[in-house]
């Protein structure tokens, strides 16, 4: 402490350089090579068996004397951290009672900061890393560069976890000063991009205006639009061009291709597309929104490569007549029809010589004919994703509120099959009338609050005195699944759940629980969790330029903020991807507005959605669930 006080800032920096150089030299403990000792621990670590390696290092340390013992203890702590067990690392570090050398002390400080980070104490980790002297780029001591990079990369991770993205970017920029060659620079920039993307997905706001430094600003903006999802799209090329124009000499240019989805491969000019939608009749409003989404994607194509497009109104034509007209006109691809009835009618025609991308699903037990593919916003598929998330979150037993009618029964059937198949159980469910506003009877019944009331009454009778009492729900409920027919149902049910003392139970729902019409109204569903498409996530900056462009082109003339608009946009993207020369359907992947899209073996499009939770009336991303982790 005395030395630190007397040296001043320049002196402290020189000490830090020396210490980091020493730490680099002691990255692995310099111990003897007895068979079955240290090499065994090192081999376990290389195999990824980090907990085993940590235990072996601890056993070795117990039989050695300092300073070798400390090196082995530090190695054990590193392996516990690699195993994702920070509490064990803390225990090992606390067991270092002999005064360490300067290099060992620095290593211990770095591991201590990383332990706080992995224990989700980001602010504590930030304070710890801030107490370690920074290295200088002018130092040339052997091993100093590797040690400095390690320090700055850890600082980058901690800063991003502590919601300090500007400091995180600056830490990586400092690490670049110690890169030995172009390959190391690329590796550092790749790691920064991945860290920014991960931070954004954990709710950290990446706002370019937070810094005046153009390099920092460019990284923050790139992190805000970056995506790790596979699949091509019409969006990536436009996003890349926009970012490149703002930051023409930015170091992030070399990793730009990693940040954004590749462009769709569009077939050579020519061809004719038929779009079949019920633009008159009871589904006309929904069909018009799907059409406008389709056209929005279609007109992003250069005029020279844009296929001809003909729209057929299946509200005026039968599906069979519309298909026949499309064939007569020489269509090379047919998109539609939209309604379940019309999709079934086209499937009944048999195998198709021209590919058909239907915009709804056939019943699960009805096989599709040849050349017939299906794309839908399926609530049943969403319900299955909800069941998988519930299981991944560690819940097994729960209850459900389901709207009366065929739609609700189909949804809860899909949910229950997925839940029970994964080892969970639906211990109770109740039907509600979606036209009603008071669901107290249904909620008290499913939560069995009246059982608590009855126990209270019996106890008062036995004791002959009045007791203070707060009702309780049944104790075996681990989750509530709300199936809303509309956002209004969810806004009514969620607050009533809290009223009946069930606010402590995690509640899950479908994406239609949320509509982007009123933040105040959506606060009624705060804490609700559900899967949704990227288009509806308010803090997803990766789509901001798309939203801006569509708003400028359409204004308020169409319902472009809706899920059906995104669905139509993605129908066009899928059509382009399927027409773009892919040999196999399995190769078709689209980074869509409605989800990450790919085909299953039955020719049905599967949508991978984003998990969100309502906070202050806005949907915010949730962390990836354990079952979805790579």
Host H or E run for residue 277: strand 272-277
**78, 177: one domain:** yes
Average pLDDT over residues 444-459: 57
Q: Residue 621: which of 488, 530, 506 has the closest Cα?
A: 530
Average pLDDT over residues 93-104: 91
Contacts of 499 (CB under 8 A, 6+ apart): none
Predicted confidence (pLDDT) per residue in 43-56, tens digit? 999 999 999 999 99
Contacts of 513 (CB under 8 A, 6+ apart): 482, 484, 487, 489, 490, 525, 528, 530
Q: Count of alpha carbons within 13 Å of 297, Cβ hemisphere only?
A: 27
- Mean pLDDT, the chain, rounded, equals 86
Q: Which of 30-34, 126-130, 476-480, 603-607 has the lowest mean pLDDT?
A: 30-34
**239, 318: one domain:** no
Average pLDDT over residues 167-190: 95
What confidence score (pLDDT) does residue 165 get? 97
What confidence score (pLDDT) does residue 622 get? 85
Host H or E run for residue 482: strand 479-482
- Separation of first and last alpha carbons in the chain: 45
Q: Are 623 and 543 in contact (CB under 8 A)?
A: no
Percent of the chain with pLDDT over 90: 65
Q: Count of alpha carbons within 13 Å of 514, Cβ hemisphere only?
A: 32
Q: What angle do CA 386, 389, 393 make, to 5 degrees?
A: 140
SS3 507: strand
What confidence score (pLDDT) does residue 454 get? 46
Average pLDDT over residues 129-149: 77
Please indicate, yes or no, if residue 62 is contained in any of the structural domains: yes
Q: Count of alpha carbons within 13 Å of 268, Cβ hemisphere only?
A: 0
Residue 540 pLDDT grade (very low, low, confident, very high; cuts 50, 70, 90): low
Q: Provide the CATH number for the domain around residue 350.
A: 3.40.50.2300
Please indicate, yes or no, if residue 136 is contained in any of the structural domains: yes
DSSP per position, 65-119: -TTHHHHHHHHHHHHHHHTT-HHHHHHHHHT--SPPPHHHHHHHHHHHHHHHHHT
Q: What angle do CA 194, 199, 200 make, to 5 degrees?
A: 100
Task: Give 357-366 contacts, CB < 8 A, sequence gap 24+.
Answer: 357/333, 357/571, 357/574, 357/575, 357/578, 359/277, 359/290, 359/335, 359/567, 359/571, 361/604
What confidence score (pLDDT) does residue 582 get? 57
Average pLDDT over residues 108-131: 96
Q: Are 175 and 150 in contact (CB under 8 A)?
A: no
**315, 366: one domain:** yes
- Domains: count for the chain: 4
Look at residue 166 and tell me whether its pLDDT is greater than 90: yes
Give the count of beta carbons closer than 10 Å to the beta carbon of residue 557: 8
Q: Which of 92-106, 454-468, 481-495, 537-551 has the lowest mean pLDDT?
A: 454-468
**355, 404: one domain:** no
Please indicate, yes or no, if residue 108 is contained in any of the structural domains: yes
Last residue of a domain, which of 374, 399, 426? 374
Q: Count of alpha carbons within 13 Å of 189, Cβ hemisphere only?
A: 23
What confidence score (pLDDT) does residue 518 get? 75
48 Ramachandran zone, left/alpha/beta (phi>0; psi -120 to 50): left
Please indicate, yes or no, if residue 565 is contained in any of the structural domains: no
Give the count of beta carbons closer than 10 Å to the beta carbon of residue 610: 21
Torsion angle (degrees, nearest 10) of CA 368, 512, 239, 172: -120
Residue 396 pLDDT grade (very low, low, confident, very high; cuts 50, 70, 90): very high
Look at residue 371 and tell me whether its pLDDT is greater than 80: yes
Predicted confidence (pLDDT) per residue in 311-330, tens digit? 999 999 999 999 999 999 99
Predicted confidence (pLDDT) per residue in 424-435, tens digit? 999 999 999 999
**211, 248: one domain:** yes
Strand-by-strand arrangement of the 272-277 sheet = 308-313, 272-277, 333-335, 356-358, 372-374
Host H or E run for residue 400: strand 397-403
**504, 433: one domain:** yes
Residue 467 in tokens: 């007791």
What confidence score (pLDDT) does residue 200 get? 87
Percent of the chain with pLDDT over 70: 85
Look at residue 1 and tell me whether its pLDDT is greater than 80: no
Q: Which of 175-184, 287-296, 546-555, 610-619 has the lowest mean pLDDT?
A: 546-555
Average pLDDT over residues 434-461: 68
**287, 425: one domain:** no
Q: Are 168 and 195 in contact (CB under 8 A)?
A: yes
Last residue of a domain, which of 341, 358, 374? 374
What confidence score (pLDDT) does residue 262 get? 84
**335, 460: one domain:** no
- Give backbone dihedrals phi and psi of 291, rounded to 5 degrees, phi first: -60, -45
**410, 503: one domain:** yes
Host H or E run for residue 232: none
Q: Are 389 and 531 in contact (CB under 8 A)?
A: yes
What confidence score (pLDDT) does residue 202 get? 83
Please indicate, yes or no, if residue 609 is contained in any of the structural domains: no
Average pLDDT over residues 356-384: 95
**35, 162: one domain:** yes
Residue 102 pLDDT grade (very low, low, confident, very high; cuts 50, 70, 90): confident
Q: Are 435 and 409 in contact (CB under 8 A)?
A: no
Residue 275 pLDDT grade (very low, low, confident, very high; cuts 50, 70, 90): very high
Q: Which of 129-143, 388-402, 552-566 has the lowest mean pLDDT?
A: 129-143
What confidence score (pLDDT) does residue 181 get? 92
- Give backbone dihedrals phi and psi of 419, rounded to 5 degrees, phi first: -65, -50
Residue 517 pLDDT grade (very low, low, confident, very high; cuts 50, 70, 90): confident
- Give backbone dihedrals phi and psi of 402, rounded to 5 degrees, phi first: -125, 135
CA-to-CA dists, residue 261 to 234, 239, 311, angstroms: 9, 9, 29
What confidence score (pLDDT) does residue 626 get? 47
Predicted confidence (pLDDT) per residue in 228-248, tens digit? 777 888 877 778 888 999 999
**341, 420: one domain:** no
Please indicate, yes or no, if residue 538 is contained in any of the structural domains: no
Segments forming the whole domain that contains residue 465: 379-533+614-628
Last residue of a domain, which of 258, 291, 323? 258
Please indicate, yes or no, if residue 483 is contained in any of the structural domains: yes
What confidence score (pLDDT) does residue 227 get? 81
Look at residue 71 and tell me whether its pLDDT is greater than 60: yes
Q: Supply the DSSP symbol for 263.
A: B
Distance between CA 564 and CA 388 in Å, rounded? 25
465 Ramachandran zone, left/alpha/beta (phi>0; psi -120 to 50): beta
DSSP per position, 178-200: T--SHHHHHHHHHHHHHHHHHHH
Please indicate, yes or no, if residue 577 is contained in any of the structural domains: no
Distance between CA 130 and CA 398 in Å, rounded? 46
**177, 194: one domain:** no
What confidence score (pLDDT) does residue 271 get? 85
Contacts of 610 (CB under 8 A, 6+ apart): 531, 532, 533, 534, 537, 540, 595, 621
Average pLDDT over residues 448-471: 48
What confidence score (pLDDT) does residue 440 get? 86
């Amino acid at each position: 402490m005395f030395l630190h006080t007397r040296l001043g800032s320049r002196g402290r920096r020189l000490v830090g350089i020396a210490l980091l150089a020493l730490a680099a030299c002691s990255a692995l403990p310099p111990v003897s090579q007895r068979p079955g000792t240290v090499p065994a621990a090192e081999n376990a670590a290389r195999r990824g068996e980090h907990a085993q390696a940590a235990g072996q290092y601890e056993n070795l340390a117990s039989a050695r004397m300092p300073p070798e013992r400390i090196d082995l203890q530090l190695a054990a702590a590193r392996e516990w951290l690699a195993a994702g067990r920070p509490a064990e690392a803390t225990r090992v570090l606390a067991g270092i009672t002999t005064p360490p050398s300067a290099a060992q002390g620095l290593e211990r400080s770095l591991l201590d900061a990383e332990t706080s980070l992995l224990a989700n104490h980001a602010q504590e980790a930030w304070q710890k890393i801030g107490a370690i002297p920074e290295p200088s780029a002018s130092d040339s001591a052997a091993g100093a560069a590797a040690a400095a990079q390690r320090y700055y990369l850890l600082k980058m991770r901690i800063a991003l976890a502590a919601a300090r993205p500007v400091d995180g970017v600056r830490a990586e920029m400092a690490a670049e000063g110690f890169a030995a060659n172009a390959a190391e620079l690329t590796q550092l920039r790749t790691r920064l991009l991945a860290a920014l993307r991960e931070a954004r997905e954990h709710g950290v706001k990446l706002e370019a205006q937070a810094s005046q430094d153009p390099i920092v600003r460019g990284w923050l903006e790139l992190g805000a639009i970056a995506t790790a999802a596979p699949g091509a799209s019409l969006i990536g090329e436009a996003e890349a061009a926009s970012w490149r124009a703002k930051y023409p000499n930015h170091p992030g240019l070399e990793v730009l291709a990693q940040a954004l989805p590749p462009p769709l491969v569009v077939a050579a000019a020519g061809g004719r597309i038929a779009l079949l939608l019920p633009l008159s009749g009871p589904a006309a409003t929904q069909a018009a929104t799907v059409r406008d989404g389709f056209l929005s994607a279609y007109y992003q194509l250069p005029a020279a490569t844009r296929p001809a497009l003909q729209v057929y109104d299946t509200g005026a034509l039968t599906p069979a007549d519309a298909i026949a007209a499309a064939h007569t006109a020489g269509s090379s691809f047919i998109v539609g029809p939209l309604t379940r009835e019309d999709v079934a009618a086209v499937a009944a025609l048999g195998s198709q010589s021209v590919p058909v991308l239907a915009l709804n699903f056939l019943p699960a037990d009805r096989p599709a004919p040849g050349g017939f593919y299906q794309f839908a916003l399926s609530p049943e598929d969403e319900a299955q994703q909800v069941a998988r998330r519930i299981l991944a979150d560690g819940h097994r037993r729960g209850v459900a509120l389901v709207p009366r009618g065929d739609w609700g029964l189909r949804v809860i059937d899909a949910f229950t099959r997925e839940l029970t198949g994964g080892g969970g159980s639906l211990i109770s469910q109740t039907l509600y009338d979606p036209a009603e506003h008071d669901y107290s009877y249904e909620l008290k019944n499913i939560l069995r609050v009246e059982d608590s009331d009855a126990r209270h009454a019996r106890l008062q009778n036995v004791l002959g005195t009045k007791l203070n009492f707060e009702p309780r729900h049944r104790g075996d409920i681990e989750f509530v699944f709300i199936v809303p027919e509309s956002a209004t149902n969810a806004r009514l049910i969620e607050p009533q759940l809290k009223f009946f003392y069930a606010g402590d139970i995690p509640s899950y729902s479908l994406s239609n629980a949320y509509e982007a019409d009123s933040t105040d109204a959506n606060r009624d569903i705060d804490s609700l969790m559900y899967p949704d498409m990227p288009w509806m996530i308010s803090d997803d900056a990766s789509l901001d330029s798309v939203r801006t462009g569509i708003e400028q082109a359409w204004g308020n003339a169409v319902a472009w903020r809706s899920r059906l608009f995104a669905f139509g946009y993605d129908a066009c993207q899928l059509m382009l991807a399927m027409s773009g020369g892919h040999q196999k359907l399995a190769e078709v992947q689209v980074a869509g507005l409605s989800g990450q899209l790919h085909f299953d073996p039955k020719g049905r499009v599967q949508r991978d959605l984003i998990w969100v939770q309502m906070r202050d009336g806005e949907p915010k991303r949730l962390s990836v669930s354990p079952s979805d982790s790579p």
